Amino acid sequence: MSFDKLSAYTRREFIHAGLVLASASVMLPSFLQRSALAMAPKGGTTSIPGVPEDRVLVVIQLSGGNDGLNTVVPFGDGNYYKARPGIGIKEDRVLKLGKNTEVGLHPSLSGLADLYNDGQLTLIQGVGYPNPNRSHFKSMDIWHTADTDASGDGWLGRYFDAECCGFGKGESGTIEKPKGDPNPQIGIAVGREAPLAMKGRVVIPISFESAELFRWTGRDVDENLGDAYQRISNAGMQETMDPESNAGFLTRTALDAQVSSATIRRAVATKPRVQYPDGELSRQLQMVASMIAAGLKTRVYYVSLGGFDTHSGQGGENGRHANLLRFFGSALKAFYQDLKAQGNDQRVLTMSFSEFGRRVGQNASQGTDHGTAAPMFLAGPMVKAGIHNAHPSLTDLDQGDLKYGIDFRTVYAAVLDSWLKTDSRKVLDGSFTPAKVLRV
C-alpha cells in the first residue's frame, strides 16, 4: 500500500480518548499498548507544559446571518423603531438586563437572560471585521479561518496542529513526526460534516450527526482495516509487528478508531441529568454534555443551528426568528444545567457567533437582508458577565449597515490566550489584543 493511501487514513484517525484495554494489554505489542492507553479518559495536564487539559471550549454556530438587532434589542434608541416598524420588538416585551436602559434581549431568549442574571453570560456588541463581506460562504470562511482573505486552514485546526499535537510540515512538505503530544486530542463536530474552522493541515476532526451513525466502518473501506483488535489478540504476546510498517500503521489506526467509536457511542447513549427542550441544537448539546461527562479528552466541540437567513416573514416577537432564538436560549441554559449537575460547568466555556448580522432597516417582505456587525455571546462561570463594548450607532451607518466596533479575532485571541492557554499570535497568524471578556 502506498504512502498516499496511508495518508488518507492518517487524516481520518479518530479521537484518542476512551476505553483502556487493560485486559488485553499483555497480548498487545508495546506500541499498540501505548496507543490504547493513550485513549483513556483523564484530567489534569497534558504532556505540553502550561496547557490545562481539563478546559473545554464549545462553539455554537448560528448559520444564515442572525439578526443581531432583534437579538440584542436597542430599545432605548428611537431610531430602531423607525427602521423596523413591522418587526421591531416592543420595549415592554424586551427582556431587560439589570439596570441597563439601552439594550435588552428578545423575549424568546429567556434562557440567555437567566444565564446573564446568574453571572454566566457575556454579551459582546458590534462584532465584525474590516471591509465586511455579505456573502454567506465568504463571510463564514472569514470567521472560520480568522483571515479576511478567507484563505488557509481553520483557526481551531491550526490550534490543534500547533498546540495539541505538535505536528509540523518539513521543508519538503511531508508530515514530520510529532514534536509534542504523540496522542493528539482531536476536536468533535456534531453535524453532517466538520466545519472548516476545525480543519488543520494534519489534524482532521471527527464529525457525526448521531450516535447511531457513528460506528467503525473499517471493513467497508478496506479489508486491511478489519477487526484489528481480534488480529492482535490472535497474535498473542508476539512482538513481531513493526510499528513503522504498513501493517503496524493500519493496525494502530484501526484499533484507535474501533475503540474510540465504541467509547463515543457509549457516552452519547447515557441519559442526561436534566430535561432538555425540543430542538436540534438541544440534541447536539445534550450529546456534547454526555461526552464531557464521560471524560473524553476532547477540548473543542462544535455544534450549529441553521435557518437564520430571514429575508422574509422574520416576525418580531413571534415567527421564524423568535423560534430560532428560543431554541438557542433554552438549549444553552439546559446545557449548563446539565454541566452543573455533572460538576463540569467550571470546565466549559461556550462561544456563539454568526457569519454576519442584518441590515438596520426591515425590507418590504417583513424581513431583513444581509448586513454586517452582530453580537457574540460567551457563556460559563469563567466569563466577565455583563455587556462588553458599546452598541453600534443606528444613524452613523456604512451603506445602511452597522459599523463594527470590535474585531472578532480579539474574542478568539481571548479564548486562545486566557482559556486554552496557547499563543494566539501563532494560531491567528497576527497580533490581536485579547478582548477583556474572561476572568481567567
Tens digits of per-residue pLDDT, 290-335? Answer: 999 998 888 999 999 999 999 999 999 999 999 999 999 999 999 9
Number of residues in the chain = 440
Q: Comparing C-alpha atoms, which of 44, 57, 16, 17 is closest to residue 417?
A: 57
How would you label 406-419 residue by residue, b for 16+ Cβ within 10 Å and e otherwise?
A: bbbbbbbbbbbbbb
The residue behind cell 418587526 is: 87
CB-count exposure of residue 3 (10 Å: 0-12, 13-18, 19+): exposed
Tell me how far apart the alpha carbons of residues 197 and 191 are, in angstroms, rounded to a whole number. 13
For 136, the grid coordinates are 454567506
Q: How confident is the model at residue 260, as a pLDDT?
A: 59
| Residue 66 Rama label (left phi>0; alpha psi -120 to 50; beta) | beta
Distance CA 156, CA 146 (A): 9
- Give the whole-angstrom CA distance, residue 306 versus residue 280: 10
Residue 131 Ramachandran class (φ > 0 left, ψ -120 to 50 alpha, else beta): left
pLDDT value of residue 209: 81
* Cell (9 digits) for 164: 495539541
Query: Residue 356 has what pLDDT?
Result: 98
Which architecture, in CATH terms, is 41-211+269-428? Answer: 3-Layer(aba) Sandwich (3.40)
Burial class (CB in 10 A: 0-12, 13-18, 19+), 186: buried
> What is the structure's pLDDT at 164?
58
CB proximity list for 99: less than 8 A, separation 6 or greater: none
Residues ≥6 apart with Cβ < 8 Å to 261: 14, 214, 215, 216
| pLDDT score of 243 | 52
CA-nearest of 293, 299, 225 to 13 is 225
First vs last Cα of the chain: how many Å apart?
49
Given the DSSP bridges, would you call strands 206-208 and 72-73 parallel, antiparallel or unpaired? unpaired
Rounded distance between C-alpha atoms, residue 157 and residue 434, angstroms: 20
What's residue 397's pLDDT? 96
Give the pLDDT confidence score for residue 166 in this predicted structure. Answer: 54
Q: Could you tell me the sign of the dihedral formed by the alpha carbons of 415, 417, 423, 426, in that order?
A: positive
Question: Residue 356 and residue 370: Cα distance in Å, rounded?
Answer: 7
**Parts of the chain with a pLDDT under 70:** 1-52, 163-185, 211-261
The confidence score (pLDDT) of residue 202 equals: 79
Cβ atoms of 103 and 97 closer than 8 Å: yes
Kindly report the CA angle at 76 between 74 and 79, in degrees rounded to 5?
75
Q: Which residues contact 232 (CB under 8 A, 6 or more apart)?
A: 24, 27, 28, 29, 32, 241, 251, 255
- Other CB atoms within a 10 A radius of the CB of residue 179 amount to 11
149 burial (CB, 10 Å; 0-12 / 13-18 / 19+) is exposed
